[in-house]
Amino acid sequence: MTTAEMFAGFEAHWIDTDGGRIFARSAGAGEPLVLLHGFPQTHLMWGRIAPKLAQRFFVVAMDLRGYGWSSAPRSEAGALYAKRAMAADVVQVMERLGHVRFRVVGHDRGARVGYRLALDQPGRVEKLALLDILPTSEVWRSIEAGDIPAAHWAFLARPAPEPENEIARLGPDAYFGDLMRNWAKDDQLRGFDKRALAAYRDAWRDSTRIHAFCEDYRAGATLDRAADEADLKAGATLPCPTLILSGGFFLTRGKRPALEVWRSTFAPHAEGEEIDAGHFLAEENPDATLSALSAFL
């Protein structure tokens, strides 16, 4: 079976945006819903959830800039991978597909794109579900306070080409594969779709995408953090209904539960639930994740 069969009945799109060409799949009818994947994955992480959501919604699953089959522009100091820039891709994709306002579900880096989009352009987002993240500024604050390990956040954010060269030396399969195994509840990744895992490996073996991943994290350490801090100082909050889902293992959990952190920062009225999974909720426990999302959306 091919990866296309994971999205049977979905239409494939190549959509040109200001940031490059974005790959997306769409299917269904009803209210529009965009699914944004995490690191180091692609839209395929939604393969067990997207077809069922498409029974109720017009679902768009897209590869973020720098990931999967989307363009991976060369960048410096995170400039082209700020979440504000990546959110602009989402807006342009959805507008090309005929939707100005939509629901957003994001995991990991995709969730960071999602909440930045909702803060910057509140008229766009009907509802927002964030899977297994804390605000970027809160992660860096916790790292600097010694509450959580710097881990890959600090490593990937180092100036180019230091992390790119080190990953090449270690081998991309070893580096990224170890990250995924360390973050999953089952370190053998037995619950993951083998076709999706193969596609992730294909992507992270590409040096241009390794550079994009690092630029994503460089943006997180600088541009994204600064955007968060400016909004927090201004008292900005997410105006849309917000759902916070977290796994039982959460690398950046820190001293407070994720829902508490969000309620004290950008989402004072958020609701939340813990899913019996590691970091990869939609792949490790798709049934519980789908149930929580369906009830909220």
Q: Report the catalytic residues.
A: 108, 279
- Measure Cα distances from 129 to 52, 149, 218, 239, 270 in Å: 17, 25, 24, 13, 10
Which residue from 243, 245, 244 is spatially nearest to 278, judged by alpha carbons? 245
Strand partners, 27: 59
Q: Is 247 helix (H, G, I), strand (E, B) or coil?
A: strand
- Measure Cα distances from 257 to 15, 84, 283 in Å: 38, 26, 22
CA–CA distance, 273 with 296 (Å, rounded to integer): 11
Helix, strand, coil percent content, the chain, rounded in steps of 5: 45, 15, 35
> Which tokens in the block code for residue 244?
């916070």
Q: What is the CA radius of gyration of the chain?
A: 17
CA–CA distance, 180 with 66 (Å, rounded to integer): 18
Q: Is 36 helix (H, G, I), strand (E, B) or coil?
A: strand
Residue 163, burial from CB neighbour count under 10 angstroms (0-12, 13-18, 19+) = buried
Residue with tokens 């995709």: 110
Q: Is 248 helix (H, G, I), strand (E, B) or coil?
A: coil
CA–CA distance, 21 with 125 (Å, rounded to integer): 23
